[in-house]
Amino acid sequence: MKVRQALEIVAYRSVYAATYILSLLPMTFLYAMASFTFFLAYYIIGYRKEVVIQNVARSFPDKQYGEVHAIIKKFYACFAAYFAEIIKSISVPAEVLDKKLTFENLELINRHTDSGRNVIACLGHCGNWEMINFIPYKIHQEAYAVYKPLESETMNKLMIKLRSRFGLKLIPDTKVIGHILSKTSPPCVYLFLTDQYPPIKEEKYKFTLLNQETYVFSGMEKSARTSGAAVIYLHITQLSKGSYKITCIPVCVSAESTNDGEITQKYVDFLTENIKEEPYGWLWTHKRWKG
C-alpha cells in the first residue's frame, strides 16, 4: 500500500509539473497545439464522432445536413481550444484572466446571501465551463463545486488542484446535502453541473431537452429544496476566442416553496436557451440519451 501511495504521489507531481510548465508557453503556441489536436480529433481519429453527429442531428431536426456538420466542426474546434485555455489558466495571473471573463448580475448572489440563504448555482457544459472556477475571485462568499470523484487518484488530485486555484472548494456529490445542512458559517455558493446522464433514472426527473426525453440529475433540486436555498442559473456564452460572459439568471428565491420538479424544469429551459444561442459550445461527446 505504501509503495502504491508513493507511486501515486510521484505520478501526480510529475503530471502537475509537466502541465504547469506547458501553461507557461505563449497562448498563441497553446492555440496552435489546439488546432493540431482539432485536426486529429475531427479528421483523423474521429473522436466520438458518431455520438456527436447523432446528438446534434436529433437535437436540431429542422436543420439541414450542412448546418448540422457546421455545428459539429465548430464544436470540435472550440473543444480543443478550451483545453488550451484551461492549461493556460494554471499559471496565468488572476488580473489577466479577469479581463477575459465578464460576470453579469453577480449582485444577485449578494442579495440572496445577505438575506441568509445559500445559493445553488446550476449550469451546463456550455462554453468553457471550467472558467467558472474563477468565481471565488469575484465574490466575497465561499464557493463550493459539487463533483464526482475520478477513479484515478492521480487525476482526481490533479483536478482538485486545478479547480481550486482561485479558492474554489470541491465537495463529492455524495456528501453535498450533509455539508449544506451541517454548515453553520455564513451562506455560501454551491456550483452544480447538472446536464450529464444520471446514474439513477427517476421518472419524475425526466424532461424534454432539445426535443428528446431526458433524465436529469435530481441532486441539485433536492439539495436546494432540503436546505431552503435560492437558485440561479449561470448562462455562459463566448464573446470572442478565450473570452466569456457569465450571466446570473434568477431561478427561485426560496427553493423550499417550489413544487417537486419545478426548479429542474426551469433549469432545463434555461439550459435549452443557452445551447440554442451557441449550439457549438455544448459538450456533445457525452451519451446523454442512452436507451
User: Residue 291 has what pLDDT?
Assistant: 58
Per-residue pLDDT tens digits for 201-254:
899 999 999 999 999 999 999 999 999 999 999 999 999 999 999 999 999 999
- CA gap 125, 39 in Å, rounded: 22
Question: Residue 3 — very low, low, confident or very high, per pLDDT cuts 50/70/90?
Answer: confident
What average pLDDT score do residues 265-283 get?
98
pTM of the shown model: 0.94
Helices (H), 164-253: 176-182, 219-227
Higher pLDDT, 195 or 290: 195
Higher pLDDT, 102 or 182: 102
Cell of 94: 488572476
Domain ranges of the chain: 2-281
What average pLDDT score do residues 169-176 get?
92
Question: Residue 5 — very low, low, confident or very high, per pLDDT cuts 50/70/90?
Answer: confident
User: Residue 28 has what pLDDT?
Assistant: 97
Nearest Cα residue to 246 out of 236, 258, 259, 257? 236
pLDDT at 155 over 70: yes
pLDDT at 94 over 80: yes
User: Is the CB of residue 124 less than 8 Å from the CB of residue 235?
Assistant: no
Q: % helix / strand / coil in the chain, to the nearest 5?
A: 50, 20, 30
pLDDT at 1 over 70: no
Higher pLDDT, 105 or 174: 105
User: Residue 119 has what pLDDT?
Assistant: 97
